[in-house]
Amino acid sequence: MLRILTELDKTILLSFLVFAKGTAKYIPEEFVISKFPIRRRKAVKKYIKKLEKDKLLARHVTKPSYKLTEEGLKKALKLLQEGAQLWTYR
């Protein structure tokens, strides 16, 4: 069963989608983490591991790189189409 995605999960999925330019290309973990504020980097690293457990990200066999799985790509594209619903209800 898939857990409910937090805002940080959604942001990480969208960042992988943007950095891979909509393809299933491997992105280095440190590159993605470096784009977040310093205070959030530890949490981002933890949430990347959670997304890997949820099978939304796939880890490269030899390198510390990740890519969106088929399910992760669908979820990220859906988030991109819907927009951030929590931000609209202020």
Average pLDDT over residues 9-14: 93
Look at residue 32 in the predicted model and tell me its pLDDT: 95
C-alpha to C-alpha distance for 7 and 39, rounded to whole angstroms: 16
Look at residue 65 in the predicted model and tell me its pLDDT: 97
What is the per-residue pLDDT across 35-64, written as a single tens digit (0 to 9) for each?
999 999 999 999 999 999 999 999 999 999
Which CATH topology does 7-82 take? Arc Repressor Mutant, subunit A (1.10.10)
Look at residue 24 in the predicted model and tell me its pLDDT: 84
Angle at 79 between CA 74 and CA 84, to 5 degrees: 175
Confidence of residue 85 (pLDDT cuts 50, 70, 90): low
Residue ranges of the domains in the chain? 7-82
